[in-house]
Amino acid sequence: MIQIQNVNKLFSTSKQQVQALSEVTLTIDKGDIFGIIGYSGAGKSTLLRCINGLEIPTSGVVKVFDQDITQLKERHLRSVRKQIGMIFQHFNLMHSKTVFDNIAYPLKSQKLNKEVINNRVHALLQLVDLEDKAQSYPLQLSGGQKQRVAIARALATNPEILLCDEATSALDPQTTQSILALLKRINQELGITIVLITHQMEVIKQICNKIAVMECGKVLEVGQLIEVFTAPKSQITKDFLAKDMHYERLSFAKDGEVNLMLHLKYVGDTTATPLISILSRDFNVTTNITYGNIEKLQGILVGNLVVDLQGTPNDVDSALTYIKQHIEVEVIEDEYITNRTCS
Ligand SMILES: Nc1ncnc2c1ncn2[C@@H]1O[C@H](COP(=O)(O)OP(=O)(O)OP(=O)(O)O)[C@@H](O)[C@H]1O
Ligand SMILES: [Mg+2]
């Protein structure tokens, strides 16, 4: 549905040049909830804006519905844009208009009669659960309600794609959950393909089926959610995942012993393996659990455990060999790094 091929975007100002996108290649299929994660300045918004033609790449191809939108004239681009809705972190509602008029706004240019518009807006209000707020003004609404209005407005023209630029970043965790649940419902019930950018792994984890990780204009890693979560390749992905893991080194090696800090990764059936008790029983090592979490991603159980493994070098080696035979494990050499900037 969306194919981005070797896209580069160079911003030139009088003072400097910024390579906002560098050889970005991605494919987003119909029905995906595709998450793009990266720190500030990674190029996420620029990439999203290339998908609806608000930004034209310096080079490369952006195919949406099989048309290269970098080559379209403004008139054709406008018609493609009608099939792409967009929502933002700060909602971008018109404060002087009621909720009803905000949602009806994109329909005004379509020469529809009043009754059709009325019915459409009410159906959208029902979808986002705001039927009682039709005559309210944005300033009278909470952040979550404003985002619901923005979602209804973005869906007014029946788009096939919804682009979300940090749509939950200004919301508290509970409101974030409800907006994410609404986006998931829109994807499942209306079949709308969603591209969502964020700097929070938590958001991706809740609803995305695919994920791309960006840093300094480049896509470093892309894949199915479960793949990237259970076998991250780039350091930045590991950092993002580790942000949710709060652990400290609890024990330190005594004379003649070593201490290894391990990140054990359980997926699916392996979550049922009684590994820790086997280690204590059969390998003469002590294991201190310093962090543990198990959750369901796309219906699959995924567990993360950080343990301190302590014993003689031989015992620790044998224990590690045993662990490696059963589950994915990573030795944490130093604390995961959790902040980076582009040079
Ligand atoms: N119109 C512009 N002119 C000049 N530079 C720009 C322009 N838009 C973006 N940039 C630069 O391009 C880079 C990528 O910006 P972009 O807004 O895409 O990042 P982002 O990943 O969305 O960041 P954030 O998480 O802060 O929103 C940044 O260095 C930014 O300063
Ligand atoms: Mg941005």
**Delimiting residues of CATH 3.40.50.300 domain(s) in the chain:** 2-231
Q: Cα(143)–Cα(149) distance, rounded to whole angstroms?
A: 10
Terminal CA-CA length for the chain = 34
**Delimiting residues of CATH 3.30.70.260 domain(s) in the chain:** 258-331
Q: Cα(181)–Cα(167) distance, rounded to whole angstroms?
A: 13
Evaluate whether 86 touches 154 at the Cβ level (below 8 Å): yes
User: Quick one: 258-331 is in which CATH superfamily?
Assistant: ACT domain (3.30.70.260)
The residue to which tokens 């959790």 are assigned: 338
Q: Which residue stretches of the chain are H helix?
A: 44-51, 74-81, 99-108, 114-127, 143-155, 173-190, 201-207, 225-230, 235-242, 275-282, 313-326
Q: Cα(221)–Cα(243) distance, rounded to whole angstroms?
A: 18
Which residue, by CA, sits nearest to atom 25 of ligand 1?
A: 40
Mean pLDDT of 212-239: 93
pLDDT in the model for residue 342 = 66
Q: Model-level pTM greater than 0.85?
A: yes
Evaluate whether 10 touches 17 at the Cβ level (below 8 Å): yes
- Which-ligand-closest: CA of 44? 1
Mean pLDDT of 295-314: 89
- Tokens representing 162 are 């919804």
Pick from 9, 36, 44, 340 the residue to mutate for probing ligand 1's pocket: most ligand atoms within 8 Å of its CB.
44
Local confidence band at 86 (pLDDT 50, 70, 90 cut-offs): very high
Per residue in 241-253, pLDDT (tens digit) is 888 788 777 666 6
Per residue in 180-212, pLDDT (tens digit) is 999 999 999 999 999 999 998 989 999 999 999
Q: Cα(162)–Cα(154) distance, rounded to whole angstroms?
A: 7
**Is 2.60.40.1120 the CATH classification of the domain at 2-231?**
no
Which residue, by CA, sits nearest to atom 12 of ligand 1?
A: 20
Q: Poorest-confidence range of 31-35, 191-195, 298-302?
A: 298-302
Closest atom, ligand 1, to C-alpha of 217 = 14
Grouping H, G, I as helix, E, B as strand and the rest as coil, residue 305 is strand
